[in-house]
Structure 1
Amino acid sequence: MSLQQIASALGKFPELALLDFHSLNLFIRYASLAKEEIEFSIPNRELCPLSLPTKILRVLASALGECDTRLIDICWSAFGELVWTQPEIAATNEEILAFNDAALLHQTSFRHLFPPVRSCQSPICVNHRDDKSIMTLKEPLTHRATLFTVKHGALPIYTTSFYCRACHIRYYHDYHVHKQSSLRTYYGGVPDVVQVAQHFFVESALLELFANNMVFGWLSGTNCARIYNEALSSPHAHIVNNKTAFPAIYQDTRHFTPDDWTVTRFIRKEDTMNGFFLYSLLLHKAEHNGILVLPHDEASQRDRLQPALAERNSAMEGTGQECYAHACDLCFHIVENEHGQLTKLQAAGCDGNTIGHRSCKVHDCKNPLPNLRHHFCEQHGHLRLKCAVVDCSADHAAGHRTCDRTEHRALETAYFKRGNAMFQLRSRLKKAGVSVPNNSVSGLDTSKEGEDEEVVFEMGPGGPVELDPDECEGKPETGNRRMRAIFGGRWTHNEQLIMRPCGVILSRATLFGSEAVSAVHVS
């Protein structure tokens, strides 16, 4: 804003003399923060409105400490065109706090989230417009939310969706949903802000930070959430976390979230993971010029993402990896034989790691579980009534996991007698190559074993013996048939990777039952 503009405005509106230069500058900056809210209240956003909506007048008057909305209206008449044509400003933390103190009372906020479209996107709809500036959507619905940002911490915001009365599509910030459809269709590309739950939005820049934390820092979703909540959720986290070191400054530090806000400012571990997966899917679709479509009626975001993640993982099992055709001097060589013929040599290694997930207890079954508490998929759900001993067709007795046969019940008794902590430690040491005698564990307790662990027992000459689920079932020296029982849930065997010598991953697949050559070939 130049001095010439101010002088010209004072000539037309002498009432502006009641304000000092600082207040005029704050008006322009606060009005810029409310610009998107103003745009969605007028029919054409290309045209600067002659007057402001009553709600915005009150917000700006409160933020500036002016009770007279008429003076704010005069400021808009004088400098509205300047606000409308200037680029987006970078608000300070103090300006955001002052603006939100006034705006949240009127159901708007800094970074109020709206759909990226103003008219219906269906070409055959009467509300469709080629001019993207024209507003034809109606029936706004607004609710509270929290926006997690990198620079400004966790912000209380409002988000608003709009409805097309002609073709019955509701448009949200990230996607749109038809009234009679069970699908949410994203707009394409990667938005600056991603909705990870109904009341939680995360900046794409923050999701990129989470992704790099997981790749380079090997951080879990829980630890990503903890770091954000402790170090980034407040722009003054270093002061809030060290009150004694900053006694004077801490007294002046204010949180961004009001006390009566119903949405937490702390990000949850499930939101970091759901955000990471959703952000990755949006990136993948954008790279391939595709549109992400997800189920809309699922109860949780985790269930909603499963079909798209399964599709992406299936593509990665074949030629879906973008570096599938990679060749470099480290992994690709041309060899000339004695006859002058050229031969291509390009090697790849195949190995698996021990990262797995819960799977159906039927060997090599690839069907998903209804949820992580189940031991069998829907196809094999009837087997939950059977005895836990392998190959036993009898139903288990009431209150037990085995049938009434004495030797089967002995395996179950041994299962419940195993000392949780010590037996798990012995199992881990064994997998690490450390030999630990069976009789080195004492002080058995009768607590029930965790449902997420695959536990295998067999009946040996000296009684029940715990086995390593990953060991090969070789023929015992006694020549007798082993009697095995599987308690708890089962995990997939490994995640198999095919890599070039230079380190580029060509493909991946989940091996459910074993790491045999035949399993690798089929996968």
Structure 2
Amino acid sequence: MSSSSSAYSSSTLQSILQIQASIAKYLDFEGCLKFIELIQLLKPTICLSQQPGLAESDAGEDKCPARLRLNVHTFLAQSLSVDHEAMKIIWRAMANIAWNFRVDESCVHSFGQRHIQCFLDYGRQNGIAFYHLMPPVRHCLDPRCVIKPKTSKKDELHRRPLKEAHSRSVTVFTQSFGPIPGISTSMFCSGCQTRYYPNYWVDRAQSTRTFYRIHRTFLHVTEGIFMDIATLELFTTMMLTSWTSASNCARIYNEAIASKSLSSSLPAAYSKSMVLEHNDVWNGLSLFWLLEDSEEEDEVLQIDHVAPSQAIRLRKALKRRNLWMAGTGQEAWNHVCDLCCWYNDLPDGTQTFLRSVVTDGITIGRPTCSIHDCDIPLDSVKHRFCPTHKDQNLICAVTSCSAPIDEGYQTCSLKDHRALEAYNDIHNKAMFQLKLRLARLKTSQPTDAFSTDDGQSTIFGDEEVLIDANGVCDEKSEKGNQTLRARFGRRRTHNEELCVASCGVILGRATFYGSEAPNGVRTFWKTLFPTQKSLPGVLWHDNNCRIMLMLEKEKDTYFSHSALPVDVFHFKCKHKAQDDKCNANCNPAKWPELMTPDGKWRFNSSAAEQANAWLGGYQAIVREMQADRYEFFLDELIKRRNRNIIKDLEKKGKNPHEIPRDFLLKPDTPRVD
């Protein structure tokens, strides 16, 4: 007996053997098993041609049909190598046992592996696909959309059945089989004018896509493209653990996963749509992460139905998620464990706790408005100025000049101003400039491992650069501001500021636009820890000495109950020993709570630098990202990295847990002066 029969019970096998005896002229035992397995794969297609029952619970569309539609009948005959008359006899003999055969999803998957070639060989000509994706419902979901059947004598109301099925060809990118031709079918409710698709329904009045809250196997990534969840999970893991860009995810998929043996069976018309592009990866991951987030927050995802592109369609949802993530939004924001929190039992029986966090910045960034500290998003990452400041495109690039530019130039007509622009043009073409900028960027890896683009023009040619009469002057001039200077190219955000618990869990992130100034760090802390109870007792930062001076000058007492030490490495190596203010305010030895009884530091004060080393691996990936996608991408990967770290902490017995949010966010009691 074949190994393929392992999915069948002994009673089922006996029934098949009995039936096979009556059709032995047409099918042997293996042929009977193949027929049953093909029916399991064809069920969605067969059910589509059946009318749904009146009641939502009525499985009328799942009843075994008396006869098959011609296209299904022909497909089965070709797959089993029998003629049409024989196929009729086989259906009459085996329909019930095949239709009522129940197996789990893993068995259906193994059936697919055995018989996918039949769909590639005979499916397209019969309008049948290996993957036929359709709505998970056959009745309208709106409880107000009901009908009273004409044949009903009672005043019964039933959900309106869906009709008007529309089908289109799609490509389904899978992990198991590579890219496979598929069919996507939508159905229409004539009562409320809602069309139901495999992943969502569209309300015609509101023109919105509302996603079902169900278990999904495939995701509608963009027009004509579906991806299975397994592939999206693989891409997520690749990005999280090995800094793999969307371009390299697509390249790996096309080279390693797409099955060459299956591709050879596809018609030539499918050759282009079988290639996964990097934009497909981004669109798929963005939607996948948004849906996961909506389910975790017990919400329903809604996006616009009509949009110029999938990226623009998702933008509003990305903005909503980004607003939620700002400040206290990270799910691990209230994390503590034995490595980042010290519980101390006092003699009176009460218990106190001391939380330790480290704040530091890393100079990765995205294109932003060239006006210092402007946080208004660009309309396009190729622009130099935001919509509010776009008139600056018409002003001379020399920093001290407000004259209008000449057409075709970035400077006015003054000779010495034009000379700076000419120098910049020559400098951009020089190979040494390319090497200089590559060294400055410290890029860890390219976005595409085999890109043939001109790196000079696409990566470095539009970088912001400050030039004076002596050449490139990215640093401050020794002559102060007297030297004539011009600013060319696009500005980038200054840095990403991370606040990291001493165990390595990232509690929050913020984009700094102009500089990592003390006031920016203070604002970041107050946004991240908006109440006194949420404020950690120890806030490490390598520039705390300047922050303390600012707080003293402005009489800001918000941090008066927190220690603001300089981390151990920077205090020993980068702060002057004779700096009395720094020694008095920020020397970590000032606080005995930071030391264990055996004289060791209680907390890791370098946790942020370790987190920055991880985040820096994404520099090449995010450098050309639009603002909303940039924020969303970083926050999502931080969330997933935190989950992995917390799992490791649990394995190591470090007691990871959470302080209740409602306790930490309880409003502060007003002070009485």
Category of TM-score, reference length = shorter chain: 0.7 to 0.9
Q: Structure 1 CA distance, aligned partners of 2:159 and 2:66? A: 17
Contact 2:160 / 2:191 at 8 angstroms: preserved in 1?
no
Contact 2:175 / 2:257 at 8 angstroms: preserved in 1?
yes
Contact 2:16 / 2:32 at 8 angstroms: preserved in 1?
no
Contact 1:324 / 1:507 at 8 angstroms: preserved in 2?
yes
Deviation at 1:179, TM superposition (A): 2.1
Q: After superposition, where does 1:277-292 map in structure 2 within 5 Å? A: 277-292=286-301
Contact 1:118 / 1:137 at 8 angstroms: preserved in 2?
yes
Q: After superposition, where does 1:364-513 map in structure 2 within 5 Å? A: 364-418=373-427, 419-429=429-439, 453-459=462-468, 463-468=469-474, 473=476, 476-513=477-514
Matching of residue 172 in structure 1 with residue 197 in structure 2: yes
Deviation at 1:219, TM superposition (A): 0.9
Cα separation, partners in 2 of 1:282 and 1:452, compared to 1, 3 Å:
farther
Matching of residue 96 in structure 1 with residue 121 in structure 2: no
Structure with greater proportional helix content:
2
Q: Structure 2 CA distance, aligned partners of 1:260 and 1:126? A: 43
Residues 298-324 of structure 1: CA deviation (Å, up to 9, x unaligned): 212222222222322332222211111
One-letter code of the match for 1:31?
Answer: I
Contact 1:93 / 1:235 at 8 angstroms: preserved in 2?
no
Q: After superposition, where does 1:349-360 map in structure 2 within 5 Å? A: 349-360=358-369
Deviation at 1:50, TM superposition (A): 1.9
Q: Structure 1 CA distance, aligned partners of 2:423 and 2:147? A: 70
Q: After superposition, where does 1:256-405 map in structure 2 within 5 Å? A: 256-261=265-270, 264-335=273-344, 342-405=351-414
Q: Structure 1 CA distance, aligned partners of 2:168 and 2:467? A: 58
Contact 1:497 / 1:505 at 8 angstroms: preserved in 2?
yes
One-letter code of the match for 1:255?
Answer: S
Q: Structure 1 CA distance, aligned partners of 2:432 and 2:31? A: 69
- Residue 260 of structure 1 aligns to a residue in which SS? helix
One-letter code of the match for 1:466?
Answer: V
Equivalent position of 2:528 in the other structure: none
More displaced stretch, 214-223 vs 180-189: 180-189
Residues 479-502 of structure 1: CA deviation (Å, up to 9, x unaligned): 543543221112112222211010
- Residue 34 of structure 1 aligns to a residue in which SS? helix
Deviation at 1:96, TM superposition (A): 0.4
Cα separation, partners in 2 of 1:389 and 1:127, compared to 1, 3 Å:
farther
2:161 to 104, 111, 136: 136
How many aligned positions are there? Answer: 480
Cα separation, partners in 2 of 1:6 and 1:377, compared to 1, 3 Å:
same
More displaced stretch, 366-375 vs 152-161: 366-375
Q: Structure 2 CA distance, aligned partners of 1:57 and 1:138? A: 23
Q: Structure 1 CA distance, aligned partners of 2:481 and 2:515? A: 24
Deviation at 1:79, TM superposition (A): 2.3
Unpaired runs of at least 5, structure 1: 237-252, 433-446
Contact 1:410 / 1:464 at 8 angstroms: preserved in 2?
no
Q: Structure 2 CA distance, aligned partners of 1:510 and 1:127? A: 54
Residues 429-488 of structure 1: CA deviation (Å, up to 9, x unaligned): 4577xxxxxxxxxxxxxx9897863333243xxx243133xx5x5xx5435435432211
Q: Structure 1 CA distance, aligned partners of 2:463 and 2:328? A: 33
- Residue 275 of structure 2 aligns to a residue in which SS? coil
Deviation at 1:325, TM superposition (A): 1.0
Residues 81-109 of structure 1: CA deviation (Å, up to 9, x unaligned): 22333225222535101133212112221
One-letter code of the match for 1:296?
Answer: H
Equivalent position of 2:5 in the other structure: none
Q: Structure 2 CA distance, aligned partners of 1:36 and 1:428? A: 54
Q: Structure 1 CA distance, aligned partners of 2:167 and 2:414? A: 63
1:18 to 20, 26, 29: 26
Contact 1:195 / 1:202 at 8 angstroms: preserved in 2?
yes
- Residue 29 of structure 1 aligns to a residue in which SS? helix
Contact 2:64 / 2:95 at 8 angstroms: preserved in 1?
yes
Give the fraction of aligned pairs with identical amino acids, expressed as a percent.
Answer: 35
Residues 98-137 of structure 1: CA deviation (Å, up to 9, x unaligned): 13321211222112111112111111112699xxx98821
Equivalent position of 1:73 in the other structure: 88
Unpaired runs of at least 5, structure 2: 1-7, 52-59, 150-157, 443-455, 525-673
Contact 1:121 / 1:128 at 8 angstroms: preserved in 2?
no
Deviation at 1:420, TM superposition (A): 3.9
Q: Structure 2 CA distance, aligned partners of 1:208 and 1:448? A: 34
One-letter code of the match for 2:97?
Answer: L
Q: Structure 2 CA distance, aligned partners of 1:499 and 1:411? A: 43
- Residue 185 of structure 1 aligns to a residue in which SS? strand
Contact 1:146 / 1:263 at 8 angstroms: preserved in 2?
no
Cα separation, partners in 2 of 1:123 and 1:421, compared to 1, 3 Å:
farther
Q: Structure 2 CA distance, aligned partners of 1:141 and 1:306? A: 28
Contact 2:119 / 2:128 at 8 angstroms: preserved in 1?
no
1:42 to 43, 46, 50: 50
1:110 to 130, 147, 155: 130
Deviation at 1:198, TM superposition (A): 0.8
Q: Structure 2 CA distance, aligned partners of 1:451 and 1:295? A: 35
Q: Structure 1 CA distance, aligned partners of 2:215 and 2:316? A: 19
Cα separation, partners in 2 of 1:128 and 1:31, compared to 1, 3 Å:
farther
Deviation at 1:348, TM superposition (A): 0.9
Cα separation, partners in 2 of 1:134 and 1:56, compared to 1, 3 Å:
farther
Q: Structure 2 CA distance, aligned partners of 1:467 and 1:478? A: 12
Contact 1:455 / 1:467 at 8 angstroms: preserved in 2?
no
More displaced stretch, 312-321 vs 119-128: 119-128
Q: Structure 2 CA distance, aligned partners of 1:456 and 1:193? A: 46
- Residue 184 of structure 1 aligns to a residue in which SS? strand
Alpha-carbon RMSD across the aligned residues, in angstroms, is: 2.9
Contact 1:386 / 1:393 at 8 angstroms: preserved in 2?
yes
- Residue 404 of structure 2 aligns to a residue in which SS? coil
Contact 1:457 / 1:467 at 8 angstroms: preserved in 2?
yes
Deviation at 1:385, TM superposition (A): 1.5
2:79 to 24, 40, 63: 63
Equivalent position of 1:122 in the other structure: 142
- Residue 347 of structure 1 aligns to a residue in which SS? strand
Equivalent position of 2:36 in the other structure: 28
Contact 2:172 / 2:226 at 8 angstroms: preserved in 1?
yes
Q: Structure 1 CA distance, aligned partners of 2:195 and 2:271? A: 25
Residues 14-40 of structure 1: CA deviation (Å, up to 9, x unaligned): 556432222222111112111011112
Residues 120-177 of structure 1: CA deviation (Å, up to 9, x unaligned): 1111112699xxx988212222111111111112111111111111111111111111
RCO comparison, higher one (Cα < 8 Å, 6+): 2
